[in-house]
Amino acid sequence: MKNIIVGLLGFGNVGTGFAAILEENRKIIENTLGCSVIVKKILVRDPGKYRDTVIPEELFTADADEILTDPEIHIIVELIGGIQPACDYIKKALENGKHVVTANKAVIALYGKELFELADKNRVSIRFEGSVGGGIPIISSLTKSLAANEIEEIVGIINGTTNYILTRMDESGLGFQEALAEAQSKGFAEADPTSDIEGEDAAYKLAILTHVAFGVQVNPKEIPYTGIGQISEKEIDFARQLGYKIKLLATVRRHDGCLDLHVHPALVPFEHPLAAVSYEYNALYIRGNAVGEVMLYGKGAGSLPTGSAVLGDVIEVVQIIKNKIGEKNTFADKYQFKPKAISSGSSAYYIRLQVKDRPGVLGKITTAFGRNGISLESVVQRGRGGLSVPLIFVTHEADREMLDAALKEVSAIESVEEVASILLVQNKS
């Protein structure tokens, strides 16, 4: 079979990883495909910068159209990142009848539906495995290996920066700022880590997972997210004493005909497999109605892991081209959920109160919880004899509105100084 020609848009961290794997594993890839994958052109801002690299200088161009309109190019690999001009380049490539592989989380989260429809209209494929979870094959697991299931729930640790920070705070008692500085010095956090720390990065990835698993494009800006900026080493210590790790979880689950989606720091029981996911690693815990629970684990970012996902997509697209398989890129809304299917849902909660250490305080608080229909699983008081002590409650599954009503009443109790922390608690399995 004739060789497959690729046009690469962007040559940063992931682009160089992609090219390195293609070179290193060329034989394996050729044996798999029965043909070669050849990069014909690479779009960069300043081609002169690449004069002294091992890649021939004439491969580099600053003119996107030279790649997007080249009739010889079969597949466009978009690794520029950001929304524009990446999104316009992808559209133009699809309109020109080229297959597209991208790792662009923002573009797929915001414009996925439109792009998948455009791919179908032009009878080409679009793949985006590298957009969620770096090297972890989550998208192809959902679209292929788990496709016979009704997906009930996906719970993910899908941000490596925050997982690294929480792990270091837990194991070494580092403060948030120290752990962040360490993550930055090791290259696990960006110079501006705001989107990661605040949970926005995870919300974008969750929007993509929701689209693939449930067929619903949710605007990532409408997904409620809370980051880890408020998590102190003290909170991590309390959680540990109760048998939990604190993790930033991205969750989507079916609940009363709606989708409950959120990104929130949560207490994960030690015995839950997600509790063992540490440092910069990511993991996805999926529950399907036939398969039961499945967990995928691996490196969620980085040049080679993400490059591996991108090249895997390219290999799949080559197989589609080779076998002339017509395919559908759009995701059917399998469950007819309302388009804006975001509910606050229910969960078990961890509540830390700061209270005056006086007889009868605990009784008043538990009565207030009971009056508002909140059932308690455990209560722990840490410290004694001081003027002010922490009181920690873990509730059974509770509706957030009922919890808020209870906490309003609890806050009004004279000896309650502060509702210091409210975190979600993940089920044991």
Given the rule CB under 6 A, which residues bind ligand HSE?
105, 159-161, 196, 201, 300-301
Q: CB of 103: closest distance to ligand HSE in angstroms? A: 9
* Separation between Cα atoms, residue 390 and residue 354, nearest integer Å: 5
**Closer of 7 and 133 to ligand HSE (Cβ):** 133
Q: Catalytic: which of 205, 245, 247, 299?
A: 205
Neighbour-count burial for 62-87, b at 16+ CB within 10 Å, e otherwise: eebeebbebeebbbbbbbbbeeeebb
Q: CB of 94: closest distance to ligand HSE in angstroms? A: 23
* Separation between Cα atoms, residue 103 and residue 426, nearest integer Å: 29
* Separation between Cα atoms, residue 104 and residue 81, nearest integer Å: 5
Q: CB of 105: closest distance to ligand HSE in angstroms? A: 6
Q: CB of 160: closest distance to ligand HSE in angstroms? A: 4
CB contact set of 188 (below 8 Å; sequence gap of 6+): 160, 161, 164, 279, 280
Q: CB of 195: closest distance to ligand HSE in angstroms? A: 7
Pairing label, strands 37-43, 60-61: parallel
Under 8 Å between Cβ of 291 and 149: yes
Q: Across the strands, what pairs with 286?
A: 154, 294
**Closer of 156 and 288 to ligand HSE (Cβ):** 156
Alpha helices (H) along 176-257: 176-185, 194-197, 200-214, 233-241
Tokens standing for residue 211: 């689209």
Question: Is residue 205 among the annotated active site residues?
Answer: yes
Q: CB of 190: closest distance to ligand HSE in angstroms? A: 6
**Closer of 11 and 281 to ligand HSE (Cβ):** 281
List C-alpha distances in Å: 214 to 29, 146, 297.
32, 12, 21
Amino acid at the residue 377: E
Q: What are phi and psi of 35, to 5 degrees?
A: -160, 170
**Closer of 227 and 345 to ligand HSE (Cβ):** 227
Q: What are phi and psi of 282, to 5 degrees?
A: -115, 160
**Closer of 191 and 412 to ligand HSE (Cβ):** 191
Q: CB of 13: closest distance to ligand HSE in angstroms? A: 10
Identify the residue whose tokens are 């975190």: 423
**Closer of 161 and 329 to ligand HSE (Cβ):** 161
* Separation between Cα atoms, residue 78 and residue 62, nearest integer Å: 14
Sign (positive/negative) of CA torsion 150, 153, 155, 156? positive
Question: To 5 degrees, how large is the angle CA 111–CA 112–CA 113?
Answer: 95
Continuous segment of H or E residues that includes residue 286? strand 281-288
Sign (positive/negative) of CA torsion 97, 146, 341, 333? positive
**Closer of 251 and 395 to ligand HSE (Cβ):** 251
Catalytic residues: 205
